Amino acid sequence: MRRTSSILKKHRSGERVYVPSDSRDNQYILAEIPLTDNLIDLVCGGIDKTADKPYQKFYQSLSHKVFDIVEEHGLSHVNFVANNRLVRVRYSGEQQVLHTEQQSFFFYCPEHNSTFKGYFDGAVRARKVKILFLATGQELRVNSGKFHFKVSQAIKDISKKIGLAENEIKLRDHQHLTFDVFAKEKGDTNSISHTFREIADRYESQNQSISKDHTSITYVVASIPMARRLLKGADIDYLSDEPFSKLYQKIESAFNNSCNANQINQAAMIANGVSPFVRYDEDETTNVAGELISIGVNPNNAERRFCVHWEADRLVDTLRFVFFADKSDETHHNYGKFVNQAITAVRAFSDEVNWKKESDDIIVRVHQHIMLNV
């Protein structure tokens, strides 16, 4: 009995992930509505294409309906977005929204930020309308199921108010946990534990059931600044057309070694200046377009898969390693082992490149997403 108990305790310990006490939670939910002619007719009865801003009335009417309903549901931080940009959400003590050509970054602090605001150009017909719900308050992970349920009810009411068919709105629930892998080396000795259960399972434990007809992905992104120490020891010929070829080969080798040593079978190294976003895709296609790289993952495919993107003539500001979980990584309904493997792989990489852990950060963000139709 004593031996069995010891083995069980050791196994469960391996499923827990200990992260710095100052790690940051984020949760946001995106409701996506295709902008069809039917939607326009339902909201405002048509548009005047001869006007300078033919879609202004449509956007204003729809956003007004949305904000009225979400306020009735007690949701305090909601944005209406129709600008054909990828929505990104990040933690920041200062609330602000920044736009690039292809992305909209929403920076906020869950504890003290809230707003209702629209982002659209009345002269442009967007491909879809997005309603961004940002979780507020403390204990986001503990209350994530309640937040999801509240948003779902608001979306159902919005759909009913507009007159949409059932399941015409996609709901994407995103949750992040962000921390510096080397916080302990910098003096933060306190830690908290997570088990990273699949979101639907976690909601079930919070007495908040969701449809079984949903997709789910889990992955980890490590952001590594291009510190001076990475360049040392690499043969760089600045007069060459491809001066950084050997540098990236060195980094790629260290990345591969760290993955192999930690039994990671699906990962990507991005070092070409584009920003990765991961989505559920049974075909697992990867597409580079402008400032973005879309990486499709299928958690049901456990085959070994690596993709590497770097350009020998370009020195990037930040390297990004992406580690993907598949269904085999979910043991006892959690992804703790997988997250620990990713963290250990990042540490192994840092050892190989002689990273200065006491002063330089490597930020890891654990992503968990689910998508369903409402």
102 shares a domain with 31:
yes
User: In this structure, is residue 81 part of a structural domain?
Assistant: yes
Instruction: Indicate if 237 and 299 belong to the same structural domain.
Output: yes
Q: What integer pLDDT is reported at residue 210 of this predicted model?
A: 85
Q: Tell me, yes or no, whether 143 and 26 share the same domain.
A: yes
**Residue 228, domain member (yes or no):** yes
26 and 167 part of one domain: yes
Q: Are residues 167 and 226 part of one domain?
A: no
Asked if residue 32 is part of any domain, the answer here is: yes
pLDDT of residue 157: 98
pLDDT of residue 94: 87
pLDDT tens across 237-296, in order? 889 999 999 999 999 999 999 999 999 999 999 999 999 999 999 999 999 999 999 999
Q: What is the pLDDT of residue 12?
A: 43
Structural domain ending residue among the three candidates 122, 151, 178: 178
The pLDDT value given to residue 330: 85
Q: What pLDDT score was predicted for residue 5?
A: 34
187 lies in some domain: no
- The answer as to whether 71 is a domain residue is yes
230, 113: one domain: no
Number of domains in the chain: 2
Spatial distance between the Cα atoms of 321 and 276, rounded to a whole number of angstroms:
10
Q: pLDDT tens-digit profile of 179-226?
A: 999 999 999 989 999 889 989 988 988 888 888 889 999 999 999 999
What's residue 283's pLDDT? 92
199 located within any domain: no
- Same domain? For 237 and 333 the reply is yes
172 plus 263 within the same structural domain? no
Least Cα distance to 70 among 127, 153, 138, 182 occurs for 153
pLDDT block averages, 10 residues each, the chain of length 374: 34 73 94 97 93 97 97 96 96 92 95 89 97 94 94 97 95 96 94 90 87 92 94 87 95 96 96 94 92 94 92 95 94 88 97 94 97 95
The answer to whether residue 201 sits within a structural domain is no
Whether residue 291 sits in one domain with residue 228: yes
Do both 169 and 223 map to the same domain?
A: no
Last residue in a domain, options 127, 162, 178: 178
**Residue 116 belongs to what domain range?**
19-178
For the entire predicted model, the pTM comes to 0.92
Q: Domain check: are 224 and 171 in the same one? A: no
Query: Quick check: is 293 in a domain?
Result: yes
33, 173: one domain: yes
